Structures are given as C-alpha cells and as structure tokens.
C-alpha cells in the first residue's frame, strides 16, 4: 500500500494564508492526499501568531513546521507548549518552548515528523542539525519519517538529504521561498527536494512587495515587511510513500495558481 503525503512551502502573509484556506482542502481531495505538512513560519509575513496557526490547521494542515522566525511572535510560545501538531526546529536549545519532533497517528500507521534548521548564513544559536538528525535516526522506530529542513544553502540541504537517504521517507527544504526543480527519489529510497517554494503572492520578491524589497537593496531605512498584493500561488511537493517499507516511490513538485 502507498499513500500520498503533501509538503507545502512557507505560507507568506495574508495572500498566502487566504490562498491556502481557499484551495488546500479541494486539492487534497482531488489528489487523494493522506497527510499534509505546512511550513507556517511566515504567515504573519515574519513569524506566525496562534490565530494564524489555527487558520492553517483549519485549512487542512495535519502538522505545521517553523524555522528561523519561530520566536518573532512571543505570543506563540505558550501555543507551542499546548499544541503537539506545531513543531519548531529540534536543534534549538532544549529549554526552548515546544518540540521539534513528534509522532502522529493516522489510518495508515504512525508518522514521525522532524523539523530542523540549518546554520549556514542564518546566524542562529542552534545545535548542529546534522548531528541532531543522525542521533534521532538511531532512535526513531516509525517507518514513515518526514523531515522539514529549514535552511539557506542548497548545498546544506542536499547534504542533509544524502545523510538521511534510506533512513527518512522524505526530506524537503524550506526558507528560500523559490521552488527548486530537483524533486526526486534519492538512491536509497528517500524522497527529496531542495526547496518547496512558497505559498504567497505571485508578483513579489519572496512574498514581499517588490518596491519595498528593491528599496531595501537600494539602502532605504528598515521597516516592517509588507506582503505583495495580487494573485497568489501554492507551491510544494507530493511524496508517494510505501507504508510497508517507508520508502518513497515518487516525488513531484507542484504549483497551484
């Protein structure tokens, strides 16, 4: 038996959240999606509020993953403790609120989801994600293991993919908001894509108003990011997983406009 698992790229601001609310459930039904993981760390443009996380769950997410903006909204911290279905990177310090890995019961068996964050250019005080991932793989008993690696460099992401090849069912990258064209099944059976892309405004710079982004590069004074207006899109990847072995049979990048 095989099931389809959907990973959705970073939800960016109100355009991305509204698009997710309007399209995700219908897409899941049409494509027989059994489990969905959504990266929600930019739902508030920078960070995510509990209200926005609730909206992502109502839209059809089974699990929400986060990244380098986890702590931007301080009101999220108690929410992370209260909700098992939202994960922050597991390589944050152990005293941080919430969890970075958990196991979820489904009709087709237990699913383990792991959230990690890279260190290249993110300037974050985190443990080594490769050592953390390697250690977890020795302990996880579930056959289906999904990993969201929130990282900047494609080299760092691909290295993680190969580290976990044959050990995780699927490894995908988030954070850079630009979908890569390398969706594949790695040699030992792990589904992989370097970046899912994003769920947000089509005519934007990573979800942000283009004029504001240009101004930043021109040297304008810093100000709060604003979502771009206009039509939106959803990007991600569908992984077909064999439930008996946990191996990925197929990986396909998707884009809805």
Which of 69, 150, 175, 177 is catalytic? The answer is 69
**Three-class SS of residue 78?**
helix
| Rounded Cα–Cα distance for residues 151 and 118 (Å) | 4
| Rounded Cα–Cα distance for residues 102 and 191 (Å) | 20
| Rounded Cα–Cα distance for residues 163 and 26 (Å) | 35
Contact residues for 231 (Cβ-Cβ < 8 A; gap 6+): 201, 202, 203, 257
Active-site annotation holds for 69: yes
| Rounded Cα–Cα distance for residues 100 and 128 (Å) | 14
Strand arrangement, sheet containing 170-174:
101-104, 111-117, 144-150, 170-174, 191-193, 184-185
Helix (H) or strand (E) holding 147: strand 144-150
Catalytic residues: 69
């Amino acid at each position: 038996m095989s099931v389809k698992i959907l990973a959705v790229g970073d939800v960016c601001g109100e355009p991305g959240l509204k698009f997710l609310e309007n399209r995700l459930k219908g897409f899941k039904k049409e494509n027989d999606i059994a489990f969905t993981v959504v990266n929600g760390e930019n739902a508030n443009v920078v960070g995510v509020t509990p209200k926005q996380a609730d909206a992502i769950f109502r839209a059809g997410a089974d699990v929400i993953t986060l990244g380098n903006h986890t702590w931007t909204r301080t009101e999220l911290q108690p929410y992370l403790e209260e909700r098992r279905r939202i994960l922050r990177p597991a390589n944050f310090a152990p005293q941080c609120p919430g969890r970075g890995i958990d196991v979820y019961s489904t009709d087709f068996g237990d699913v383990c989801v792991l959230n990690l964050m890279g260190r290249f250019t993110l300037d974050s005080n985190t443990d080594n994600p490769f050592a953390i991932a390697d250690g977890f793989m020795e302990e996880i008993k579930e056959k289906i293991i999904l990993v969201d690696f929130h990282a900047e460099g494609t080299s760092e992401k691909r290295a993680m993919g190969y580290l976990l090849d044959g050990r995780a069912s699927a490894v995908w990258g988030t954070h850079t908001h630009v979908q890569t064209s390398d969706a594949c099944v790695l040699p030992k059976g792990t589904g992989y894509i370097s970046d899912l892309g994003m769920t947000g405004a089509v005519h934007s710079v990573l979800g942000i108003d283009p004029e504001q982004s240009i101004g930043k590069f021109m040297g304008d004074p810093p100000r709060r990011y604003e979502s771009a207006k206009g039509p939106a899109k959803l990007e991600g990847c569908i992984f077909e997983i064999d439930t008996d072995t946990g191996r990925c049979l197929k990986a396909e990048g998707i884009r809805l406009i």
